[in-house]
Amino acid sequence: MTLLETILLGILQGATEFLPISSSGHLVLVPAILHWPPASLPLVAIIHQGTLVAVLVYFRADLWGIVKAVWQGLTQRQPLATTESRLGWYIAIGSIPAGAAGLLLESFFEEMFGTPTIAAGFLLVTAVLLVIGERLLSGQKPIEKLSLFDAIIVGLFQTLALFPGVSRSGSTITAGLLRGLDRSAAARFSFLLGIPAILGAGLLSGLDLMQADDLAAQMPALTAGFVAAAISGYLCIHVLLNWLRRHSLYPFAIYCAAFGLIFLAATVF
């Protein structure tokens, strides 16, 4: 890939990782549409690390508070005494379903990433999920009222994002809405819950990065993609959190449905 293509894919990854429109789907479909070569494993690895940096920087205060609260809870033998300590444990527990499914079925999901029509089809699934979440929005529960059962349900929905075209943020925000969280709280927990998932995916793909034969030659382009993903990811977290305070998820559902249907129609005809 050229330097410009790498930067554009980094921007795309950063934006679609957090906007509920599926980063995996776009990384499969956009190169296919533009007749670019498929994104290399080193590139996928490095731009995922860019989005990880974005979420860590954006939620640095929240994360530091959670880490301190969990540590204090353990030392005081009251692990669930505060909202922050409970949130830390809920993130850990909610991450188990997707992590287990990803490790056990890794080859199954990897095969799907080679088929753009599958990614386009699952974009329609993302659209349906977003509509369901909005239609069944039932409460205004803040994140402080999140329960263990809520976290488990959101974590189970996160496993859907292992399919290319299913948005991780979209599926987990929908689950939060179904559990009565308000939009901002559902999005905030979605992003926090995504940190272990993005970290795990980055570590696994990082092994491929270290084994790349021409890693030194690729470093300038990979660095540019990393920076682009980090910047666009940070901006899109901010945009989505502000958007959801006043608006619904319907525009994202319309976008996913339109993109998926147009790609499938173009493939058929």
Looking at per-residue confidence, does 98 or 209 come out higher?
98
**Residue 222 CB partners (closer than 8 Å, separation 6+):** 6, 42, 43, 46
124-166 per-position pLDDT tens digit: 999 999 999 888 876 678 889 999 999 999 999 999 988 989 9
Q: Which two tokens stand for residue 151?
A: 């976290």
Per cent of the chain over pLDDT 90 is: 54
Most confident of the ranges 48-52, 105-109, 191-195: 191-195
Confidence of residue 188 (pLDDT cuts 50, 70, 90): very high
**Which distant-in-sequence residues (6+ apart) come within 8 Å of 171 by Cβ?**
126, 129, 157, 158, 160, 161
Q: Is 146 helix (H, G, I), strand (E, B) or coil?
A: coil
Predicted pLDDT of residue 247 = 87
The end-to-end CA distance of the chain, in Å, is: 28
| Each residue's pLDDT tens digit, 202-235 | 676 666 666 666 666 778 888 999 999 999 999 9
pLDDT of residue 191: 93
Highest-pLDDT range among 104-118, 132-146, 195-209, 229-243: 229-243
pLDDT reading at 254 higher than 90: yes
pLDDT for the residue numbered 207: 66
Question: Given this model, what pLDDT does residue 124 score?
Answer: 95
User: Mean pLDDT over all residues of the chain?
Assistant: 88
The tally of CA atoms less than 13 A away on the side-chain side of residue 105 is 14
Considering only residues 257 and 246, tell me which one the structure prediction assigns the higher pLDDT: 257
pLDDT surpasses 80 at 85: yes
pLDDT higher than threshold 80 for residue 37 = yes
Confidence band (pLDDT; 50, 70, 90) for 200? confident
Q: How far apart are CA 12 and CA 47, in angstroms?
A: 10
pLDDT of residue 105: 80
Let me know: does 80 contact 73? Beta carbons within 8 Å. yes
Highest mean pLDDT out of 30-39, 192-201, 226-235, 238-247: 226-235
The rounded distance, in Å, linking the Cα atoms of 205 and 193 is 19
Mean pLDDT for the stretch of residues 43-48: 82
**What is the pTM (predicted TM-score) of this model?**
0.89
pLDDT of residue 265: 93
Predicted pLDDT at 154: 96
| List of residues 6+ apart from 183 with CB closer than 8 A | 137, 173, 177, 244, 245, 248, 249
Task: Give per-residue burial for 176-192: e unless 16+ CB within 10 Å, then b.
Answer: bbbbbbbbbbbbbbbbb
